[in-house]
Amino acid sequence: MDRILISACLLGAPVRYDGKGKLLVHPLIERWRNEGRLVSFCPELAGGFQTPRPAAEIAANASGDAVLAGEGKVIDVEGADVTAMFVEGARQALAKARAERCRHALLIDGSPSCGSLSIYDGRFLGERHPGRGVTAALLAANGVEVFAPVDIDRLAALLSPA
Ligand code: SF4
């Protein structure tokens, strides 16, 4: 059975920077949970952050791919460089995906870790641009296909039966 690495906040875990979750209410989530497919993970907590924590964005309109290449930084709203913790969280997420044999991940969009379609642009103005977060980039580069919630039906079509 194909297992799915999933952002812990999508399952309602209060792990986001603001101390909240972001529950994804969808019949497929309930089905997959009952089938034991879901592997809940929060890269930022794994990277050493606490909840709550200052919001962070990938700076200067860059992407997670650039961060992994050493050409971009993650900066929090107070100006601290938190790049190393984001990279560590991504590495932990990849290790978890490999340990649990997850070939697919369902990650919340917009996050500097988990975003796969768009991320905030580093100005803390609520503006997004196309790009992916650090964890999404590392997973994709290592053969774990990443889906945003808007693509949940496309993910479902790829899974082997339970
Ligand atoms: S790192 Fe991912 S799982 Fe953790 S709070 Fe942010 S979006 Fe959710």
pLDDT (tens digit per residue) in 18-71: 999 999 999 999 999 999 999 999 999 999 999 999 999 999 999 999 999 999
For residue 7, the ligand 1 atom closest to its alpha carbon is 3
Backbone angles phi, psi at 160, to 5 degrees: -75, 155
Each residue of 3-26: pLDDT tens digit? 999 999 999 999 999 999 999 999
**Ligand 1 atom 6: the closest Cα is on which residue?**
16
Residue 161 has pLDDT above 90, yes or no: no
Q: At what angle do helices 83-99 and 134-141 cross, to 10 degrees?
A: 40
**162 confidence band (pLDDT: 50, 70, 90):** confident
Q: What is the DSSP string of 91-109?
A: HHHHHHHHHTTEEEEE--S
This prediction has a pTM of 0.98
Pocket test for ligand 1, best of 11, 16, 58, 107 (most atoms within 8 A of CB): 16
- CA 20 to CA 3: how far, in whole Å? 25
What is the mean predicted confidence (pLDDT) over 133-162?
96
Predicted local confidence at residue 131, as pLDDT: 97
Q: Is the CB of 16 under 6 A from ligand 1?
A: yes
pLDDT score at 160: 84
Structure tokens at 7: 């952002």
CA distance 95 to 116: 19
What's the token pair of residue 100?
A: 């649990």
User: Does the beta carbon of 65 sit less than 6 angstroms from any atom of ligand 1?
Assistant: no
Ligand 1 center to residue 157 CA distance, Å? 25
Rounded mean pLDDT of 136-153? 98
Best substitution site from 5, 11, 15 to test ligand 1's pocket, by max atoms within 8 Å of Cβ?
15
70-103, pLDDT tens digit by residue?
Answer: 999 999 999 999 999 999 999 999 999 999 999 9
Q: Which two tokens stand for residue 41?
A: 């993970």
Q: What pLDDT does 124 receive?
A: 98
Residue type (1 letter), 40: S
* CB of 63 shorter than 6 A to ligand 1: no
